Structure formats: structure tokens, C-alpha cells
Structure 1
């Protein structure tokens, strides 16, 4: 271990494995959940350096799962014609998005 001298004190040169790119929505939600509800697991993962790689992987999995669920839900419940009734199309798509996001949050983030 190496140390830096600042004035009369010596501080260890510690580095954390920071993510190369910022976490997305689902990674931040999972980090907050772990910090608030599973602090022992959060601290263990943080100190071992596995927190950010795990959160990054979970982010990718959650986005892929949401896109897949949107495709499946849209196949089961086709949207109204966008050109003739735009507001009904937006309402339908927002409803499908909310359903897909609820599944992602339940199965991946808050479990």
C-alpha cells in the first residue's frame, strides 16, 4: 500500500472502481434500494468492488427486459391507428410502458 504525505499526516492512496459511464435509471434505483433496505449487502458489494459492475449489468438486463415486454404486450394488445387517433395511441403506449416497467421493477430492482 502506498501513502501520500499531506502536511504532517500520511493518507493511504485508495481508489474505488468507479463506473466508466454513469448508471441509468434502473441501476440508480437498485443502488438506492440496496442502500436503504439491504445496507449490509450494499456495503459488502461496495467494499469488494462488485457494486458498480453488478449495477451496470442489471441496467442492461432491465432495459432489454422492458423492450422485450413492450414488444410482447404490443403484440397481444395492438395499438389504435396513430394517424387517426393520436391521443388514444399515446394513452395505449403509455399504459403498455407502465405495465412493462412495473414488471421490471418488481422482478429485478426490488427483489
Structure 2
């Protein structure tokens, strides 16, 4: 199971870097090699660099690939989307449990 998760995260990271590259190419005209080097350096800077890559990748997917905002969001911010979905489901389950306990 860990191998499957690793492969999925690797594929996601490759697509995110491709979106980052597309964004830099679209906005600044950078060659893909230069964009990948900039993305790699940014990712080594920790969470702030990762956030920068995600934001540029988000707009790169929207502008260069003509994706909808929700598709680009799923690609570049999957943890945030998963957090919102889990929170909504947990809140719904808690509300349902509270309402069912009230009737008893």
C-alpha cells in the first residue's frame, strides 16, 4: 500500500511541476529546463517554496492549460480540498448524531 501511495504522490508532483513550468513559460517565456530548475530550488526552500510552486502551478494550469479553477485546485492543493471534504462530512455526521440523540 505504501508503494501505491508513493507512486501516486510522485505522479501528482510531476503534474504539479509541469503546471509550474507551464505557468512560468506562459508568463515569463522561460525555457522548460530553467522552469524545472527554479521549481526544484523553490521546493528545497521548505513550505514557503512549496506554496509558491503550488500557486504558480495553479495559475499555470488555469492559464496555460485552460483548466477550470476547481480542476487546478484539485491538482495543486489536494490536501486543502481533502481537508474541506473531511471537515464537511465530519460536521454532517456530528450534526446528524446530535439530532438523533435529541429525539431519544
Greater share of helix: 2
TM-score with structure 2 length normalisation?
0.31
Greater share of strand: 1
